[in-house]
């Protein structure tokens, strides 16, 4: 995802609101004002009006949102990416929030074209003068990579392909990479990852890569990589399987964030762990009531084979915790309960650190990457206690499913004060500015801002 070099020859885009339009219209040359009246342009949000300026240079007026901050979408300018005809454009001098608007344009320009070519040539945007062009492109490219991974169906994005994509990203930046496959998971003590993925045609695996200065801030990312989730022997109805190619959205999010950090060369010692499986059905499938000893040593009884994501994350988080991190984040398309509570646009997150939670919320608002803190409610934790095992992977009641899933994961984290769990959805049901319909990564942009700021602050004070 790239911006073009700035050019004065590009068509200028002027942002105008309905409230401002009468004053702006009054300053237009009479022929231009008359033409605007003929086409009934009133600067309604999302509308376009093309007319040359007084010197004959091309110009587009774009109806922006109103002045009231609460009614404004910071990515509204992304509509330009699908509304404008092909050509080269630039923001007019003095445009507000040019960096955010340029990012919105690139995010809205995304099109998944692996199986069907894009019909029309897309408009191109010049990099606004004075912005950090490299950073905008870095974020947009990383998000596009994550979207591609999620949108690709499982016949082309199974465990082997997802592992290859993760290893390729690590290798691109010279990271130390390794992958543990199949029965080697048992040898290296990842029994839960092995149990969940052993029924599939492609063996389960764990990808790990690490890069960065040894004295940098230590950040570990863990992403759930369930390439398809049938529900296992507790099989899902067909309607619930339609989007299960996106059940590796947590892995895609972790890799997207990793791409941003690696490309920026931030002073971070980055470690990425991606447990990868397909939750399939065969004679080798794990069963309800099976009990497995996890990497941490805790025994886990399977109450439902459709709660498999937390099992593979448990081994990965336990492994991550064996090496202390300054920050440990995990991402998983984990529960339908999260969607019932907050819908598809706002992932809940959980952490034991109030200061970290406040920082996450602040970065989320600033980057237009919304999340919402949910409580690690200790009173619900006992519902995970097993009768003949240390714990079960689901509670017996129908309530607080996202919270109890987070509490399950917390049992495998050595230091919950440095950890945050994101129960992401990774899918846009419909197209909105900056968020095309289909696969998407959530929380990666806000955490890039957070990690980058913390790392730079630590570098400045060292």
* 356 alpha carbon, distance to own chain's centre: 19
The values of phi and psi at residue 44, to 5°, are -65, 145
Catalytic site includes residue 373: no
Which of 258, 264, 280 is CA-nearest to residue 198?
280
Q: How far, rounded to the nearest angstrom, does the alpha carbon of residue 256 sit from its chain's CA centroid?
A: 7
- Smallest CA-to-CA distance from 20 within 75, 83, 62 is with 62
Residues 50, 82 contacting (CB under 8 angstroms): no
Interhelix angle 309-321/401-410, rounded to 10 degrees, is 30
Which tokens hold the place of 207? 């990808």
Residue identified by tokens 């509670």 is: 395
**Residue 119 φ then ψ, to 5°:** -75, -45
How many Å separate Cα 48 from the centre of its chain? Answer: 31
State the virtual CA torsion across 255, 257, 258, 259 in degrees, nearest 10: 90
- Taking CB atoms within 8 Å and a gap of at least 24, the contacts of 40-45 are 42/18, 43/16, 43/17, 43/18, 44/18, 45/18, 45/76
Question: What angle is formed at CA 347 by the lines to CA 434 and CA 369, rounded to 5 degrees?
Answer: 35
Question: Which of these, 337, 332, 290, 341, lies nearest to 314 by C-alpha position?
Answer: 332
Residue from 25, 236, 293, 373 carrying the catalytic annotation: 236
Give residue 198's Cα distance to chain centre. Answer: 28
Strand partners, 406: none
The residue with tokens 């299960």 is 244
Q: Is 310 a catalytic residue?
A: yes
Catalytic residue, candidates 269, 310, 363, 418: 310
Closest CA to 146 of 174, 122, 118, 165: 165
Q: C-alpha 293: how far from its chain's center?
A: 31
Per the DSSP assignment, residues forming a β-bridge with 275 are 206
Instruction: Say how many C-beta atoms besides its own lie within 10 A of residue 85's C-beta.
Output: 13
Instruction: Supply the DSSP symbol for 242.
Output: T
Q: Which residues are catalytic?
A: 236, 310
């Amino acid at each position: 995802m790239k911006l073009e070099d700035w050019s004065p020859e590009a068509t200028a885009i002027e942002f105008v609101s309905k409230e401002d339009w009468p004053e702006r219209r009054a300053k237009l040359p009479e022929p231009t004002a008359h033409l605007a009246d003929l086409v009934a342009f009133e600067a309604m949000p999302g509308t376009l009006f093309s007319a040359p300026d007084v010197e004959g240079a091309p110009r587009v007026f774009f109806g922006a949102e109103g002045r009231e901050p609460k009614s404004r979408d910071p990515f509204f300018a992304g509509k330009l990416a699908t509304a404008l005809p092909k050509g080269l454009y630039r923001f007019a001098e003095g445009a507000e929030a040019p960096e955010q608007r340029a990012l919105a344009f690139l995010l809205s320009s995304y099109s998944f074209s692996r199986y069907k070519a894009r019909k029309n040539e897309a408009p191109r945007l010049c990099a606004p003068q004075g912005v950090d062009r490299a950073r905008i492109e870095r974020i947009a490219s990383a998000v596009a990579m994550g979207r591609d991974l999620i949108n690709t169906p499982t016949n082309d994005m199974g465990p082997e392909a997802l592992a290859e994509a993760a290893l390729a990203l690590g290798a691109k930046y010279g990271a130390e990479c390794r992958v543990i496959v199949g029965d080697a998971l048992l040898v290296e003590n990842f029994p839960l990852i092995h149990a969940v993925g052993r029924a599939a045609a492609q063996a389960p695996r764990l990808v790990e890569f690490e890069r960065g200065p040894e004295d940098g801030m230590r950040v570990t990312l863990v992403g759930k990589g369930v390439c398809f989730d049938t529900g296992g022997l507790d099989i899902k109805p067909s309607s619930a399987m339609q989007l299960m190619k996106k059940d590796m959205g947590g892995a895609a999010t972790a890799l997207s964030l990793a791409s941003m950090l690696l490309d920026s060369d931030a002073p971070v010692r980055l470690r990425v762990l991606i447990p990868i499986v397909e939750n399939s059905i065969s004679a080798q499938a794990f069963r309800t009531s099976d009990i497995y000893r996890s990497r941490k040593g805790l025994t886990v009884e399977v109450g439902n084979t459709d709660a498999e994501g937390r099992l593979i994350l448990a081994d990965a988080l336990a492994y991550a915790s064996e090496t202390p991190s300054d920050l440990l984040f995990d991402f998983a398309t984990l529960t339908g309960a999260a969607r019932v509570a907050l819908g598809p646009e706002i992932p809940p997150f959980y952490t034991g650190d109030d200061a970290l939670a406040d920082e996450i919320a602040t970065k989320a608002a600033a980057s237009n990457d919304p999340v919402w803190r949910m409580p690690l409610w200790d009173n619900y934790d006992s519902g995970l206690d097993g009768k003949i095992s240390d714990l079960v992977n689901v509670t017996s009641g129908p309530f607080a499913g996202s919270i109890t899933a987070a509490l399950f994961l917390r049992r495998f984290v050595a230091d919950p004060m440095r950890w945050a769990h994101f129960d992401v959805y990774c899918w846009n049901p419909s197209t909105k500015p900056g968020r095309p319909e289909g696969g998407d990564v959530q929380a990666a942009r806000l955490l890039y801002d957070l990690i980058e700021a913390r790392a730079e602050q630590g570098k400045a004070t060292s």
